[in-house]
Amino acid sequence: MHPGEVDSWETDYRTGNMPWDCHGVPSALVEYISHAAGPGRVLIPGCGSGYEVHAFHERGWQVLAVDVTPAAVARARTLLGDLADKVVLADFFSHDFGGRRFDLIYERAFLCSMPPTRWTAYARHAAELLTSEGKLVGFFLYGHEDEPPPYPLTDEAALAVLARNFTRLADEPVTDSLPVFAGRERWQVWQKKGGAN
């Protein structure tokens, strides 16, 4: 991540300017993990306040949440209490995960925080970090933004970027999005393709 981006997010967290913060666990995720095969290992990149850590942990998942913003990590650790050690100050792209592979990568407001020039690297690295049967699941922002960020996907971009390494298994509209994402979020499940790295 670029230092300027980190500085901007740090300021947002310190001042409470967080329109992306859902103050809880989204209902689509609760529904998904209540029926998902597992538990297994889950990675939450760009975890922000980290509300979802507890939801996964309750279901028996081994959770690792990372964020590059110190104030976000501090906030998540405070909110999570006994689960604070599940949150690490780290850059998704450069962190040494020690050879670990994950069964699930949970996406929410991380991909849309980065410009399209980094999307291919995101998809490639996600595939590298997943097991052979791993899935990329979560909330993907689509549509148009006059003054990004956020940087929404288009259907064409999603297929061009993600379909190289993944097959889309589910695609549902989200009805309880935050105002900043309203009408543009989709709950999606992407299965890693065999042999994708």
Instruction: Report percent pLDDT > 90 for the chain.
Output: 69
- Per-residue pLDDT, 178: 63
Each residue of 52-101: pLDDT tens digit? 999 999 999 999 999 999 999 999 999 999 999 999 999 999 999 999 99
User: Between 7 and 31, whose confidence is greater?
Assistant: 31
The yes or no reply on domain 3-15+26-192 and CATH 3.30.450.20 is no
Q: Quote the pTM value.
A: 0.90
- pLDDT computed for residue 68 by the predictor: 93
Tell me: the pLDDT tens digits for 164-185?
Answer: 999 999 999 998 776 666 778 9
- The 3 state secondary structure assigned to the chain is CCHHHHHHHHHHHHHCCCCCCCCCCCHHHHHHHHHCCCCCEEEEECCCCCHHHHHHHHCCCEEEEEECCHHHHHHHHHHHHHHHHHEEECCCCCCCCCCCCEEEEEEECCHHHCCHHHHHHHHHHHHHHEEEEEEEEEEEEECCCCCCCCCCECHHHHHHHHCCCEEEEEEEECCCCCHHHCCCEEEEEEEECCCCC
